[in-house]
Structure 1
Amino acid sequence: MTTTTQPLLAVRDLQVAYGGIQAVKGLNMELYEGELVSLIGANGAGKTTTLKAICGLLQPRSGDILYQGRSLKGQGAWNLPAQGLVMVPEGRGIFTRMTIDENLRMGTYLRSDDEIEADIERIYTRFPRLKERMKQLAGTLSGG
């Protein structure tokens, strides 16, 4: 179910290459607020490359990415979190020498609203094992 007529994120004819190897070829997609979307494909299909391009970690060869109706062209990855667009790392892409709680709080670094504590508590409610281990170094987690 969509809540708006304008997509929250729109990818238009995205093409991304590593040198002469084209990893993403003409991708088009629209994601609307409230949707739960999965990007699936075989190894080497361009899933991670697509996400890195959306988040400004890779420059597309061509095409456009619009977030909340605005083009992200020319913006670096460092500009996007303040706009609400981030990539959640996979695997062990965490701050290993910081606690679980410190890692969660790093995700709020650019926020100044009054909902931070409620959001962190919501995460701990959803993942009670994290709350039990909130003072544990994140690098000592099993990764599972």
Structure 2
Amino acid sequence: MMTLKEAIGVHRCDIDIKTGERLTHSDIYGRAIDLLGGLDVVAPYIPFPLDDIRKALKTDPHLNNTSMRRWDEAAGFQCGVFGNRHRGQAECRPTGDGLWNLYRQHGITGASCAEGVCILKEAARRLVAREGGANG
């Protein structure tokens, strides 16, 4: 069993296991993209067309102006309020779809919805940059 952070050599949220150096958000999720096979392998899981991403990035670099539900589903999670057990608290449940298809190929058995969304959003930003930037 291996978590995503173990697979990419990160501990205590943002510390490189080998060097002890603090990593940026982009570095962490860039490592995950690389581990999963690269930008072109992760790109099909991004839940929006590149033109929509490009437009959204003009007003929000974090892409929080797009549907969170779609990001969650692409990350392989269903999020919401399930039953009465949690008294209305939202939770996210893995579906086994979305990024889990890539995680399984690389021996990753533990990843959060937030980690998956961060991978997808980082991949989306990198794709836009590669293909001409937010104005391209």
Q: Tell me if both proteins adopt one fold, taking TM over 0.5 as the criterion.
A: no
**Structure with more contact order per residue of length (Cα contacts < 8 Å, sep ≥ 6):** 2
Considering fraction of residues, name the structure with more helix.
2
Considering fraction of residues, name the structure with more strand.
1
Q: Compare CA radii of gyration and give the structure with the larger one.
A: 1
